[in-house]
Structures are given as C-alpha cells and as structure tokens.
Chain A
Amino acid sequence: MTFPIREMRLREVVEEPETGPAERAPEAPGDGARLEDLAAAAQAGDGAAADALYRGAHARLTRIALALGASPDDTPDLVQEALLAGWRHLERFDPRQGSFVGWLVPGLKGRLLNRRRGVGRKLGFLERFGRAQPSPEGAAQQTRDALEARLTVSKLLAGLTDRQREVVALYELGGLSARETASLLGIGESGVRSIARDARRRLHDEARRLETPRVRRIS
C-alpha cells in the first residue's frame, strides 16, 4: 500500500499539528543564545561562547543520553567525552547541516554503544565465573527520590523499542527537529512522527500503570 507524497505530508500536518516540535518547550541554551550561534562564535575563538556552548550542550546531551538508556553513573563521562570530541573537531561543524546537538549525537550514541558492549562483556565474564553482578556504584548513597527517578526512567524506557527510544530521546526530549532526527536515524520524517506517536502512547500507558497503586489481595 503506497501513498502519494503529497498525501503523506498532508496527513502529517493534519494528524500532529499540536504534538510536533513547535509545541514542545523551547530549549534554552546558555544565556538564551542558540547553540549554533555559540558554536560559530567559539569557532572564531570566543572563549566565553565556548564556555556557554559547553554548558548548554551538556544539559541537552545529558537528557538525550539518559533517554537513550545510558546508566546515570556513566552519563557524565559519556557526555563529557562526546563534548570534548566535538570541541576538538569544532571547525568541522556546519550549522547549515543541522543543529549542534544533532552534530554531537552520533558520537554520543557510539560511545554509549561501546559502553554497553563493554558492560555486556564484563557481565558475561562475571556470569561465566559464577560471580554476582556488582551493585551499582554509589547506590547506597543515592537518595530515595533519585532512586525512584532512576527506576521510573528505567521502567518507562523498558516499554519502548530501541527505535522508539531513539526517537523519544532525539525528537521528543532532545529538541531536534523531525528532519534532523530522521537524518540521524536514517528514516523518513513521517516515520519519525509515526514512531513518536506510538512511543507517546506506550509511555502514557506505562506512566498510568506506574501511578496506579498496587493492592495486594491477602485473602
């Protein structure tokens, strides 16, 4: 079953006029300046712009990393490494090709993937040798609220497919446009919107389930 391109675009506009990127809360990079403008200033040698660029991109990359399923313990290092790699090749960034955060996302995803592979190998090694999985670092020091937040994120993301998780991270929470998200994921913009819609429904159902108190029937 195929649709003419014009029809598909029409459907997109009709179906999601209110849930698209325009409705999402605007991201606020440092000092209200766009990250792309800060990146251009940093390319010109503006140290203050580089500082603001780092801080603004750090917050957004942190949310994206967490939404992609990165461990909160690993997230600071992942984001730091991705930002430093971007800083070292800042001259290659072209705002005409996309947003600054979108330019950093492939590096972040690659590092996250490598980290997961490393953790998988480590856990496999421990399992083969019959050792218990180590507890998360610093879990004993985490407050209850932080643990609950981590648990909520984990449960909500667990109900999504990998593709839905990527779309949520980039498109819904990361502030990237549908076009840039589609470009990064190698799918069409309509696919991004469709996946986002399905993901929202799943998240909604999962959130409702989490909010419903569980009553244990004794008798």
Chain B
Amino acid sequence: MSDERHGVDTLRAAIEDVASGLPTPRVPPEISPDAAAPRPLPPPPRRWVPTAALAAVALLALAFAAYLATVRLPRLEGELARLRAGTERAIEPVDLSIVSLPRAPADVRSGAGGEAATVEIEPGSPSVLLVELDPRWLEPVAEAYVFELRGADGGTAGRWSLTADEAARHLRANEGVPLLLRTAAGPFTLHLTRRLDGRDHELSSLRLEVVARRDGSSP
C-alpha cells in the first residue's frame, strides 16, 4: 500500500519544491493586524510654497505703496503742478495782442489808413497777435487768405496762410486769427491778401508798432 502512495508522495514533494520557489507570501495590509488599526493620518502637505509666494506678493505690495507715497506721488504732483502752470500760461499768454484790421488797405506811403497799432512783445519769447477779420471779406470759393508782415524796408518778417474754410471757422467762432510773432521791435505793416482764381487781392493792411515791454512783467 505504501508503494501505491509513491506517486502521490512524489507529486507532493515536487509541488513542495515548486511552492518553495514561489515568492514568500506577504499578508496584505487589508488583512494584516497593522492594517486593522487605524492608520495615523499623513501629515498635512507642506504649503510653504503658497505661503512664501503670498508673503513675497505682500512685501512687494508694501514696497510699491511706500514707493508711491514717498517718491512717485510727490513727483507726480510736481509734474501735475508744472503742467497746470504751463497750461495756464498757454491759455492766458502774457504776450497776446489783439488788433482789428481796417476795412481798407492802409496807404503806407502816405500814412493814411488810420493810426498804427502798438503791439507789445517780450523779447526772447513768442508773442501772439490775434487779428480780427471782417466777415464781409469771406469768399467761400477763395483759394487762400495770406497774412504778410513786412518791415519798414519792405522785407517780409512773417507770412501766414489759411484756407477759406479755416477763415470761415474763425469767423463763425467769433474769434480772431492767431499769428505767432517772432520779430524784434520796430515798425511793421501787416497785409491781408485773398487769393482767388490765381490772383491776389489785398483786402486790408495795418501799421504795427512792435515795442518791447519795458518792465517785463505781465499785465
């Protein structure tokens, strides 16, 4: 009978050999006693990165606020004050003179055409001459209106040109035509000419006595 079990024993021994060569079983955590006990909670993930980033952002914000309060804002206020002062100068130039051109050209040689207009300028700074026009001079089909400032010797000291539309716009706004004077003191004659169909027709002229302001102070 024991001989009959020889085959079974051989199979059992071979199976034991095979089983011994298999990986050693590890009790799964699901079954292990260690797994039965509640596992300690893992430590919370370190959040140093967001914290550091927030701290850096806060520091930057504080530094920027300090920079604005101590440096930038005073500068801005200074610049704003300068701009405001410059604007006011531009709005109310101290060297603005207003003249009205007569309805007929002056006879410069005979001295007719009314008295000369006196224009004060401040040497070294531009002066604005506001010239009022007569609406009747306006010709819609005119090609151009030309202002020419001539000296006593007949030479040109300044020349300004504007179209009929520009002249009409000045008239509708009931304002004069601003001319920027860059001349020295002396006698001048301002001529207004209208160009129509290729021909120039003088509309008016005015003698100007350009004088330098003596005290240099604003009026």
Which of B28-36, B67-75, B77-85, B128-136 is the contact stretch?
Answer: B28-36
- Which residue of B has the minimal Cβ distance to A146? B21
Contact B25 A55 (CB under 8 A): yes
Chain A nearest Cβ from B162, distance in angstroms: 94
Contact B31 A200 (CB under 8 A): no
Contact B4 A152 (CB under 8 A): no
User: Interface size on A (CB < 8 Å)?
Assistant: 47
Interface centre among A18, A50, A75 (most CB of B within 10 A): A50
Contact A173 B6 (CB under 8 A): no
Contact A47 B11 (CB under 8 A): no
Interface residues of A in 138-188 (CB under 8 A from B): 142-143, 145-146, 149-150, 152-153, 156-157, 168, 172-173
Known contacts A152-B14, A202-B7; is A87 also within 8 Å of B31 by CB?
yes
Taken residue by residue from 26 to 57, chain B's Cβ proximity to chain A (1 for < 8 Å, 0 otherwise) reads as 01101111101100000000000000000000
Q: How far is the CA of A55 from the CA of B1 in the complex (A)?
A: 33
The verdict on B3 contacting chain A, using a C-beta distance below 8 Å, is yes
- Which residue of A has the minimal Cβ distance to B37? A47
Q: How far is the CA of A4 from the CA of B1 in the complex (A)?
A: 27
Q: How far is the CA of A207 from the CA of B12 in the complex (A)?
A: 12
Q: How far is the CA of A75 from the CA of B21 in the complex (A)?
A: 11
Taken residue by residue from 65 to 95, chain A's Cβ proximity to chain B (1 for < 8 Å, 0 otherwise) reads as 0110000100110011001100100000000
The verdict on A6 contacting chain B, using a C-beta distance below 8 Å, is no
| Interchain CB contact (< 8 A) of A200 among B7, B33, B36 | B7
- Which residue of B has the minimal Cβ distance to A53? B31
The verdict on A99 contacting chain B, using a C-beta distance below 8 Å, is no
Chain B nearest Cβ from A2, distance in angstroms: 28
The verdict on A203 contacting chain B, using a C-beta distance below 8 Å, is yes
Known contacts A156-B11, A168-B11; is A54 also within 8 Å of B31 by CB?
yes
The verdict on A59 contacting chain B, using a C-beta distance below 8 Å, is yes
Contact B5 A153 (CB under 8 A): no
Known contacts A19-B4, A62-B19, A72-B22; is A149 also within 8 Å of B14 by CB?
yes
Q: How far is the CA of A202 from the CA of B28 in the complex (A)?
A: 39
Interface residues of A in 18-66 (CB under 8 A from B): 18-19, 45, 47-48, 50-51, 54-55, 58-59, 62-63, 66
The verdict on B107 contacting chain A, using a C-beta distance below 8 Å, is no
The verdict on B10 contacting chain A, using a C-beta distance below 8 Å, is yes
The verdict on A217 contacting chain B, using a C-beta distance below 8 Å, is no
Contact A50 B36 (CB under 8 A): yes
Q: How far is the CA of A63 from the CA of B16 in the complex (A)?
A: 7
Contact A47 B32 (CB under 8 A): yes
Q: List 19 A-B contacts (CB under 8 A).
A: A18-B1, A47-B32, A50-B32, A54-B27, A55-B25, A58-B25, A62-B19, A66-B18, A66-B19, A72-B18, A76-B25, A80-B28, A156-B7, A156-B14, A157-B11, A173-B11, A203-B10, A204-B8, A207-B6
B residues lining the A interface (CB < 8 Å)? 1, 3-8, 10-12, 14-19, 21-23, 25, 27-28, 30-34, 36-37
